[in-house]
Structure formats: C-alpha cells, structure tokens
C-alpha cells in the first residue's frame, strides 16, 4: 500500500495513495501523539489513590474514548454517503483505522488496569475484539486485492459463472459419443460440482473434493484402458473437464479472496454494535450508582 505515482501517457500524474498512507500518514501521527500524551499524563498525574475511571483523568479518557467510538461507528453512515472534498472517504477511513487503534491505549488507561467479571470489562473486551477484527481487516485489505485481481484476470464474476455454464454445455455435447459408464462420471461432474468452497476448507482441499476434478482424474485414468474408438472423445471430455477444473479453482480462489475481504466485517460490525450497547449500559450503570 505504499504511495506510488503513475504517469499515464498524455495524462496528468495521479497519485495513488492507499488509505493507510493518506496525507503522508497524517492520522498515524495524530494517533501516536494522542497515545504519547495520554500515557504521559497517566503516569505523571497524581490521582491521590489509584487510577480508575472515576478520577478527572479517568472521566476525561472515558469521554474521549466513548466519543471516539461513536465517531468511528459513523463510518458506516459516512461511507454510504458520497461526498467530495477535504474530508473524503479515504481520509475518514485512514482516521478510522489509526484513531480506532488508539482506543486500545485510551480505554486501557481509562480502566486503570482494573478488570473483573463485570459489565465494564465486557465493554472493554468487546472493544478489544472489534479492534482486533479491524486490524485483521486492514491486513486483508492491504494484501488481498492485488492477489485477487491477479487471480481474476479481468474476468467478471458473471464471466466466471457463464464460462462454467458454457463448459457444462460443452461437456454435455462432447460426452454424447461416450459409453454410459463414462457418461455417468460426466453427469456427476456437471450436477454435483459445488462452486462455493466450504468456509473452513483450503482451496487445494476443496479442489480435491470437487466432482469435476475427480471426474477429470478418473476419466484420464480410464483413458489408458479404454477402447481405441473411445479414446478421442474421452480425450476431448477430459480436456474440457480439466479446463473446467482450472476455472473452478480460479473461481473458488476468487470467492475465498472475497470472503477474506468480508468475513472480518461480520465480526467487526456486529461486535461494534454490541460494544455500543455495552458502552451505553456501562455509562448508565456507572452514573446510576454514582
């Protein structure tokens, strides 16, 4: 995600700068400043007893952290509203990532390192989980898209599905001259192939289990003992099956890449809302029994 400047022929140079490097790491610097200042104040200020959420520093850190959490959650609204200008979505995302990470420090200092089996620590734990899932998301956003576009080779998702369908039709045609025992394999390859890989299975493993790949292997093996007149049509069918298998692999890899880009959000977003609820309960409970 390093900042690069391409010059397209006949065009003005456009800087491609990822959200992490946005404005020369403006928000990373801001986040580091916030962390350094809060840690210094925490260790230098005399709180009379010990640190917790109820001292002036505890309240301040709590207010800052809670407002920050609310602001971070507004990204969900902000990203749906397209607006140009200074505070563009890339800037927001950059700030979201860096300032969100500072919460780890701010909220920890807010707790004064007092943890227990209670609502307050629940809110803290949820926050930590949200941040961890966010960091994972950033990692995938930084690494997956390039692999993804390499894998996709300019095909659209629809292209992939169409191509698979086309190969299936081709298979049907090409299998016409085959013996029934071979046809059975081909039929199974058409009907039983599940494109979508299981969530907890690697792509090579899902390839091994794939009906198309298996059929290709079996028929290639069968080719050696097949009658002479069967060989040519078999060869054609196997060629199509192997192409389909290769295409399936790319498609599955594409699905996996997409999943990697999305799955963390299935933790990040619901956990954020759970955090918001726990935060509200935390604040209300603390002042209910002030």
Partner 1 sequence: MAIRVEFIKKRPGGRITVRPIIYDKTELTLGRATDCDIHLADLRVGLHHARLTILSARKARIEANGDHRVRVNGAQIRRRDIELGENSLIRIGPYQLSFAEAETSETLLVSIELVEAPTPIRDRRDEAAVFSMRGYAPDKRVTAWVSISFILAAFLFTPILLHFRSSEPDDSDISARLALATNQHWLAGELSSAHANLVEDCRDCHVKPFTRVKDEDCLACHDEMRNHAEPTSLHKARPIRTGAGKWLATIRAGLYIPEGRCGSCHFEHNGAVGVLPSGSQLCVECHATMDNRFTDTALVNVANFGRRHPEFKPQVIFDPQLGAASVRRISLVDRPKENNGLEFPHDFHLKDEEVMRKLETLPAPLRIRYGDDLDCIDCHQADVAGALIKPIEMERHCSDCHSLAFATSQNTVRTLPHGEPAEVRQTLEDFYLAQATQFLMGETPANILDRQLSAEARARRDRLRGRAIADAKRNAKAMIERLFSEEGICTKCHKHEDPATRAARASDIMPEFTPVRLTTEYFPMAHFNHAAHETGEIDCSTCHRAEHSSRTDDILMPSITVCRACHDDTSGRTGVASDCLTCHGYHQDDKAAPLMNPAHYREAVRGSSP
Q: In whole angstroms, what is the distance from residue 101 CA to residue 86 CA?
A: 23
CA-based Rg of the chain, rounded to a whole angstrom? 28
Query: Applying CB under 8 A, which of residues 1, 35, 163, 223 lies at the interface with partner 1?
Result: 163
Q: Alpha-carbon distance 248 to 230, whole Å?
A: 26
Among 34, 127, 210, 240, binds partner 1 (CB under 8 A): 240
State the binding string over 64-103 for partner 1 (x if CB under 8 A, else -).
----------------------------------------
Q: Which one of residues 119, 125, 148, 201 is an interface residue with partner 1 (CB under 8 A)?
A: 119
Phi, psi of 53 (to 5 degrees): -70, -10
Give CA–CA dist 49/31, Å, rounded.
Answer: 29
Q: Could you say which of 177, 236, 242, 250 contacts partner 1 (CB under 8 A)? A: 236
Contacts of 118 (CB under 8 A, 6+ apart): none
Span of 44-52, 64-72, 131-139, 182-190 interacting with partner 1 by CB under 8 A: 44-52
- Our CA angle for 156, 166, 204, nearest 5°, is 65
Task: For residue 68, give the DSSP letter.
Answer: H
DSSP designation for 14: E
- 67-70, Cβ contacts within 8 angstroms, sequence gap of 24 or more: 68/99, 68/100, 68/102, 68/103, 68/106, 69/103, 69/127, 69/275, 69/276, 69/279, 70/276
Residues 6+ apart with CB under 8 A from 71: 99
8 A C-beta contact, residue 197 and residue 203: yes
Subset of residues 252 to 271 that bind partner 1, contact rule: CB under 8 A: 254-255, 258-259, 262-263, 265-266, 269-271
158 scored as a contact of partner 1 (CB under 8 A): yes
Least separation in angstroms between residue 130's CB and partner 1 is 12
Per-residue x/- track, 189-218, partner 1 (CB under 8 A): ------xx--x-------------------
116 contacts partner 1 (rule: CB under 8 A): yes
Q: How far is the CB of 3 from partner 1 (least distance, A)?
A: 30
User: Binding residues for partner 1, per CB under 8 A?
Assistant: 46, 48-50, 52-56, 59-60, 114, 116-120, 122, 153-154, 157-159, 161-163, 166, 169-170, 174, 195-196, 199, 236, 239-240, 243, 251, 254-255, 258-259, 262-263, 265-266, 269-274, 276-278, 280-281, 284-290
């Amino acid at each position: 995600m390093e900042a690069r400047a391409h010059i397209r022929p006949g065009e003005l140079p456009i800087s491609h700068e990822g959200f992490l490097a946005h404005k020369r790491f403006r928000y990373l610097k801001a986040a580091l400043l916030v962390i350094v200042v809060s840690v210094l104040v925490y260790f230098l200020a005399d709180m009379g007893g010990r640190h917790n959420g109820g001292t002036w520093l505890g309240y301040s850190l709590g207010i800052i952290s809670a407002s920050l959490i609310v602001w971070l959650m507004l990204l969900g609204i902000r990203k749906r509203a397209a607006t140009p200008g200074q505070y563009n979505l890339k800037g927001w995302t950059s700030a979201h990532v860096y300032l969100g990470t500072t919460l780890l420090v701010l909220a920890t200092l807010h707790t004064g390192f007092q943890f227990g089996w209670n609502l307050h620590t629940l809110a803290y734990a949820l926050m930590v989980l949200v941040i961890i899932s966010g960091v994972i998301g950033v990692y995938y956003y930084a690494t997956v898209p390039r692999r993804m576009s390499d894998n996709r080779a300019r095909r659209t998702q629809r292209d992939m599905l169409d191509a698979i369908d086309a190969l299936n039709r081709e298979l049907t045609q090409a299998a016409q001259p085959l013996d029934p025992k071979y046809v059975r394999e081909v039929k199974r390859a058409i009907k039983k192939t599940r494109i979508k890989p299981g969530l907890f299975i690697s792509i090579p493993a899902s390839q091994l289990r794939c009906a198309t790949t298996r059929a290709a292997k079996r028929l290639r093996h069968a080719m050696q003992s097949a009658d002479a007149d069967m060989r040519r049509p078999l060869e054609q069918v196997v060629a199509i099956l192997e192409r389909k298998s290769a295409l399936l692999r790319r498609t599955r890899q594409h699905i996996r890449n997409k999943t990697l880009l999305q799955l963390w959000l299935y933790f990040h977003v619901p956990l954020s809302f759970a955090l918001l609820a726990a935060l509200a309960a935390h604040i209300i409970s603390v002042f209910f029994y002030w």
